[in-house]
Amino acid sequence: MVRRYLEAHCLGKTVAGAVVNQPACINVPPTAYGRCIAGATLEHVWRKGKLVMVDLSNQVSLIVHLALGGEVLLRDTADHDPARTQIVLTFADGTALHFHQLRLGNVHVYPTYHLATTRLGRLGADALDELPSVAGLQALYGASGKPIKVLLLEQTLICGIGNLYGDELLFGAGLHPERRGKTLTGEEFVRLREAIAETLNAALRSRTPEAPPYEPHVYGRTGEPCRACGCTIQRLRLNNRSAHLCPTCQPLG
Ligand SMILES: [Zn+2]
């Protein structure tokens, strides 16, 4: 949705400068940041995993990572509240792109030719646009002794699956988050692949303005009844992350 938003509202605009209120959100000194992008035009917006790239006309690219709760908004003015807005890109036409609530998010600049050597180059195939075949998933996950939930979050294998939708798609596949990759059968990999595609597409549809919000089946529903079987949703810790599941719909054994 961020990619679509930037593409619809910002392509063709020319950068005038940048206001950086939170230097932790950028990867160069604040004074250099604006110089890297001023005078350049936004030419191309694309996405891989959770990263959105904006290629500029001067062979520089922005890598936008909004992280949890981060927002980007085009406004008619550069006026902003510095406590809430970490970065503002101003455009030659007077409008401005505001990045709110970035927290752990960031907007880095790199030479476009250098992108493959950044964290972008370490990402696996995109879960939405480049989802591997069942055999491909088996090759990525099927030899590992790690829990499938942990494997799904490893962005170097497949990128774009976060904690919430990782839990949701495992519910959809009927797989317990602690199942080891190497214990999954061929039939379970078929279910897993279908659940990845269905869950991510449902999530994307829910982010369009007219659609109802996504209603999780298990994520954030600890102690509530499973909507499929009535059993109580459980939460467990897995590699310092949470995992939510229905113990009946997602049996371990
Ligand atoms: Zn259930």
Q: Which domains does the chain have, with CATH numbers?
A: 2-122 (3.20.190.10), 128-245 (1.10.8.50)
Question: Which among 173, 175, 164, 219 has a CA at the least distance from the CA of 198?
Answer: 173
pLDDT of residue 68: 79
C-alpha 68 – ligand 1 centre gap (Å): 27
C-alpha 226 – ligand 1 centre gap (Å): 5
Q: How many CA atoms lie within 13 A of 111 on its CB side?
A: 3
C-alpha 191 – ligand 1 centre gap (Å): 16
For 4-16, write each residue's pLDDT tens digit: 999 999 999 999 9
Task: Calculate mean pLDDT across residues 216-229.
Answer: 97
C-alpha 225 – ligand 1 centre gap (Å): 8
For 100-117, write each residue's pLDDT tens digit: 999 889 999 999 999 999
Neighbours of 201 (CB within 10 A): 11
C-alpha 251 – ligand 1 centre gap (Å): 10
> Is the pLDDT at 19 greater than 80, yes or no?
yes
Helical H runs in 159-248? 163-173, 186-206
For 72-98, write each residue's pLDDT tens digit: 999 999 999 999 999 999 999 999 999
> Is the pLDDT at 221 greater than 90, yes or no?
yes
Neighbours of 163 (CB within 10 A): 17
C-alpha 57 – ligand 1 centre gap (Å): 52
C-alpha 177 – ligand 1 centre gap (Å): 14
